[in-house]
Amino acid sequence: MPTIAIVGASGFGGTELLRLLDRHPTLRVGQVAAASNAGTALHELAPNVPPGAGGARRLDAVDVAALAEADVVVLGVPDEVALELAPALLAAGTRVVDLSGAFRLDAATYAAWYGRPHTAPELALDGDAAAVYGLTEHAREQVRTAPLVANPGCYPTATLLPLLPLVPVVETAGVVVSAMSGTSGAGRSVRPDLQAAVVHGDVVAYGAPSHRHTAEIERHAAPGGLADAIVFTPHLVPMSRGILATISAPLASGVTAADVQERLHAAYDDEPFVHVLPEGDFPHTKAVHGANSCQLSATVDGRTGRVLVTSVIDNLVKGAAGQALQNVNVMLGLDETAGLDVIGVHP
């Protein structure tokens, strides 16, 4: 039975992965490691895991040799921690899926957008042993054999899934992305700007025009990337989880609304987790709550000649732990949907 280990098992991404693994038919959970919360019972951090159903388990301290006994280790830690742990785990002989931004860019772009040098440039996108960018629907074959998978960011997942099939038919210099996220996107750390009293009843933009996910979207929107093309504005909305992204771009000359629908359906009709809705049917964030799904719909504004696509994901599932498990399933040759076969909620 293949084994998965987690570092960052006390974080929002880590506890969400444990929730998904609870219904996985074949993966065995090995080490579940944390830093300041090592020794804490899982139930104290994740009340959805009752003490009698695994929640009494105490989190492990980080031990690279013990972690490396697993077939794959998922890192749900800050990028600077992943920069240290991923090379050590790979050297110890295991495979790694990293939820952080540490390996999603080339080393120079990482340094420019994250404000610090890349300390494992061989594993960055331009390196000799480069990580595979794990947007599964668009990288399945590379993920299958990758020692290291850089799991995409939450906003980039919500943006790239609708954008990638349309890049050949839009004017890429005019792509505008406006997106909203629930507060779990910032992780479990306590911050004054994320208190319920501040967030409740409020919506605010942040990070524009230099949010790190701008560089990630540009880098992965086309082979070789798009240079200085994307205007990206994220917003914080008073929800626990969920992302809604609206992508607007001028259509190339002669491209019709039917062409747009055809491209999206061709890309995703055979995919288990990406659902193209009929034109005019706009997706709800709650419809993918807890699910590894992306729902999207496109419409063409004939007046301005622009295509408008809205997409929704759960930032903790398709935007983090769910896509990581999807990648793990592919890496280990398991059914890609194992542990992930649930839909969202309504109402």
Cα 215 from Cα 229, distance rounded (Å)? 10
Give the three-state DSSP class for 297. strand
Among 5, 10, 42, 245, which residue interacts with ligand NAP (rule: CB under 6 A)? 10
Residues numbered 73-92 forming contacts with ligand NAP, rule: CB under 6 A: 76-79, 81
- Phi (first) and psi of residue 313, to 5 degrees: -140, 165
Question: Least distance from C-beta 78 to ligand NAP, angstroms?
Answer: 5
* Binding range to ligand NAP, per CB under 6 A, among 2-10, 109-117, 124-132, 338-346: 2-10
In the complex with ligand NAP, the residue whose CB is nearer, 82 or 230, is 82
- Name the residue nearer to ligand NAP (CB basis): 169 or 316: 316
Q: How far is the CB of 73 from ligand NAP (least distance, A)?
A: 12
Angstrom distance (rounded) from CA 321 to CA 319: 7
**DSSP letter string, 263-278:** HHHHHHTT-SSEEEPP
Residue 260 makes contact with ligand NAP by CB under 6 A: no
Query: What tokens were used for 195?
Result: 């208190």
Question: Which x/- pattern over 30-69 shows residues binding ligand NAP (rule: CB under 6 A)?
Answer: ----xxxx------------------------x-------
Residue 189 vs 253, nearer CB to ligand NAP: 189
Phi/psi-derived region of residue 207, left when phi > 0, alpha when psi is between -120 and 50, beta in every other case: left
Residue 12 as a binder of ligand NAP (CB under 6 A): the answer is yes
* Cα–Cα distance for residue pair 86/115, rounded to 1 Å: 20
Q: Is 8 in the site for ligand NAP (CB under 6 A)?
A: yes
* Residue 225 CB, nearest approach to ligand NAP (Å): 20
Q: How far is residue 230's CA from residue 215's CA, in Å, rounded to a whole number? A: 8
- Nearest-Å Rg of the Cα atoms of the chain is 19
In the residue annotation, 154 being an active-site residue is answered as yes
Size of the site for ligand NAP (CB under 6 A): 30
Tokens of 139: 């990288």
Applying CB under 6 A, among 7, 163, 247, 291 the residue interacting with ligand NAP is 7
Contact status: 11 vs ligand NAP (CB under 6 A): yes
Among 154, 245, 313, 320, which one carries the catalytic annotation? 154
User: Helix H segments across the chain?
Assistant: 12-21, 42-45, 64-67, 79-91, 107-114, 136-145, 154-163, 196-199, 212-220, 257-268, 322-331
Residues that bind ligand NAP (CB under 6 A): 7-8, 10-14, 34-37, 62, 76-79, 81, 99-100, 153-154, 184-185, 187-189, 315-316, 319-320
